[in-house]
Chains A and B, each alone.
Chain A
Amino acid sequence: MLVAEKYSWIVSFTSPLLLLLSTMAAGLVFYWTWNKPPLAMSLEWFSLGGYTFTAGVLITNLSCLMLLVVTFISFLVNFYSTGYMAGDPAIRRYFGMLGFFTFSMLGIVLADNLLLIFVFWELVGFSSYMLIGHWKEKPEAADAAKRAFIFNRIGDAGFLIGLMIIWASAGTFTLQTLSESPELVGWQTAASLCIFCGVVGKSAQFPLMGWLPDAMEGPTPVSALIHAATMVAAGVFMLARVQILFTPSALDFVALVGGLTALVGALAALAQYDIKKILAYSTISQLGFMVLAAGTGASEAAVLHLVTHAFFKACLFLAAGSVIHALHQAQVQSHTEFNVQDIRQLGGLQKKLPFTFIIFLISGSALAGIPFSSGFLSKDAILSSLTLWKGSEFSWRWAIYAVGFAVSFLTVLYTFRMIWTIFRGPEKATIHLSVAEPPLAMRVPMAILAAGSFWILFSWNPFDFSGWVYSALSDNTSVHLNYISVVSALWVLFALGVAYWIREKEITAPVFTNAFYLDSLIKRVVEAPVFHVATITEHTDKKWIDGFLHTTAYIQLIAAHVTGWFDRVVIDGFVDGAASLAKGVGSLTRSFQGGKIQLYIFWAIFPIIIFIIWMLL
């Protein structure tokens, strides 16, 4: 807030510029440390009792890859925002929080111990809260921000418990020390599941996934950032970073949750009508996919998918933002009113927004996992690791394996449906609108991200995912399976055919639209009992605690009255008594000297008389 309101346009230059600088710095770090031994530095942070906590950075291949991706995507989103948010009155806060968001995420990426990660983890939660609720005048936005914050808190509570368990049994938070001696006697599974709890909250896994679709109330570039580079990516990144701590049974649980999330997200995305909601559920589904991969032990596949997903999902969001922005501008000019995010109102925009259409098509095909896209590679990596993980014996893992394929099928369906409904077919509400492509500031980031959605950035061979990224992350030999690539490609093409076939069908299953009523379930199972308990607690508080307090207060009041009475009567009485005694004595002695001569004589004689009588007796 250093810049005065009048010059708030300055931030729209400085903010992308600074991020460009940090991107270049990240590139430098990348150049220095990629495929080299991990770089670790740490300083003493603070001492508590006999323990010393350190803070430092640990740059492995994983974190320097993430460093580059986060700064690069943040830079593009910032750049895009200068066009998208132009004219917003709170632009300074917006860019400030955007920068803070990126900073917190970079903190998670660089931190070398779990405590520091937790600190930045919370900061990410806070800045996402600020950004989702950027348009705080809208009650939905404020609610969504609160919801995101609370859901994250629930997960973070688990994370915190995990930290306590680790501290209690290992006595250190440093990742390197933990990875060298990963023996937490008896508590390993509990600790890893608790940490996974934090991941569930941050990466919107089942059952804490309700906040992500709601978070669409924020500005679209923020959604792009949340879904691609920061926030939800933090969970998967953490999972990859601490995977060494996870026991096989904990990993099985992780895979189960991931598979469930992927399926639920994909089915829910199929039945949404809001562009951003479709993308949100798709992100949930993809995150589930990544967590599933991490659960199978192939965290390098998860990270590969995280990176490719960061590019194409950011691109999709920016493209969706471009559609929304363009239609909104057109609406303002022609004074028409309809919900620009509802795909039922849209259609045939290919002619009016050809550039956005191409971008949407490229990034959408990456999401769907069409061959020659980056999504195909990373999906292939995950499916390969799933194939190896399920084993040859038939077990519950086969169901998860089937879920993996089902999700990739569903992904094609909803992506195709979204693109088809928006850009093909007859025009609906937009037919009389003259729609213009968004400004250059928005188109350039989209084009760059779309270019990143091709296979070439990640591997030379479009059918072999073990390119430079994967081989640098994975220490074991390649798990690439040729037949999986072929099967996956055929499967995607088959899904494409099915999608074309059912393109005009309305999917109205309310179970999907409401994401399996998870929100209502949470409401009923969690919210109602919590409210009930809260009511009881309130009642108890009112009746017993307040009653106790009131009684105490009453007793004190009585005691005060007694003390007051004592003071008034006894102490004051003593003083008053002394005073009136003196007064009485005074007036008694005064009364002898009443100015009456004969009385003086009498008093002079009286003692003599007394004396005489005494002598005589």
Chain B
Amino acid sequence: MFPITHYLFLGALLFCSGLVVVIIKKNMILVLLGIELMLNASNLNLVAFNQLYPNSIQGQIFALFVIVVAVCEAAVGLAIVISVYKYFQTPVPDEISELKE
């Protein structure tokens, strides 16, 4: 059995890499990917903290919730990406600047 800090470090690492991906990646699909990474980092934390209380399962249930929400989110996000791509002919959000000036 690993101590909890290992899980937390992994979660933090995962969250940070997700955040970095969200911030620095040009492609919108990769940004969505980063968001998935961050969601999974939180899932990992939820499950890891649930391990401390063996008699309850709220953590694991919440993780399942998150997965469902993440799927929905991914579906909506991808739909937005596709429609944006259709309209602007680019998956890069920086090039979409209709409101700027």
**Contacts from A to B (Cβ < 8 Å):** 594-598, 601-602, 605
Contacts and interface: CB of A to CB of B under 8 A. Distances in A.
A598 B31 CA distance: 9
A595 B100 contact: yes
A55 B24 CA distance: 110
Nearest to B94: A596
B65 to A, nearest CB: 24
A595 B23 contact: no
Given A596-B93, A597-B93, A598-B31, A605 B99 contact: no
19 contacts: A594-B100, A595-B97, A595-B99, A595-B100, A596-B93, A596-B94, A597-B93, A597-B94, A598-B22, A598-B23, A598-B24, A598-B31, A598-B93, A598-B94, A601-B22, A601-B23, A602-B23, A605-B19, A605-B23
Chain B contact residues: over half helix, strand or loop, or mixed? helix
Contacts of B100: 594-595
Contacts, number: 19
Interface in B4-43: 19, 22-24, 31
Nearest to A596: B94
A116 B10 CA distance: 123
A601 B22 CA distance: 9
Nearest to A602: B23
A601 B23 CA distance: 7
The 4 closest A-B pairs by CB, nearest first: A595-B100, A595-B97, A597-B93, A602-B23
A594 B100 CA distance: 8
Nearest to A595: B100
Nearest to A597: B93
Nearest to B25: A598
A91 to B, nearest CB: 90
B5 to A, nearest CB: 15
Given A598-B23, A601-B23, 8 more contacts: A594-B100, A596-B93, A596-B94, A598-B22, A598-B93, A598-B94, A601-B22, A605-B19
Contacts of A605: 19, 23
A239 to B, nearest CB: 103
A596 B22 CA distance: 12
A596 B97 CA distance: 8
B13 to A, nearest CB: 15
Nearest to B26: A598
Contacts of A597: 93-94
A597 B35 CA distance: 14
A598 B97 CA distance: 13
A597 B80 CA distance: 15
A64 to B, nearest CB: 106
Nearest to A593: B100
Contacts of A595: 97, 99-100
A34 to B, nearest CB: 112
A389 to B, nearest CB: 117
Contacts of A594: 100
Nearest to B31: A598
Nearest to B22: A601
Residue among A595, A602, A605 with the most chain B CB within 10 A?
A595
A514 B24 CA distance: 119
A55 B53 CA distance: 131
Interface string B88-101: 00000110010110
A596 B24 CA distance: 11
Contacts of A601: 22-23
Contacts of A602: 23
A607 to B, nearest CB: 14
Residue among A598, A601, A602, A605 with the most chain B CB within 10 A?
A598
A601 B94 CA distance: 13
Contacts of A598: 22-24, 31, 93-94
Contacts of B93: 596-598
Contacts of A596: 93-94
A595 B100 CA distance: 6
A605 B38 CA distance: 13
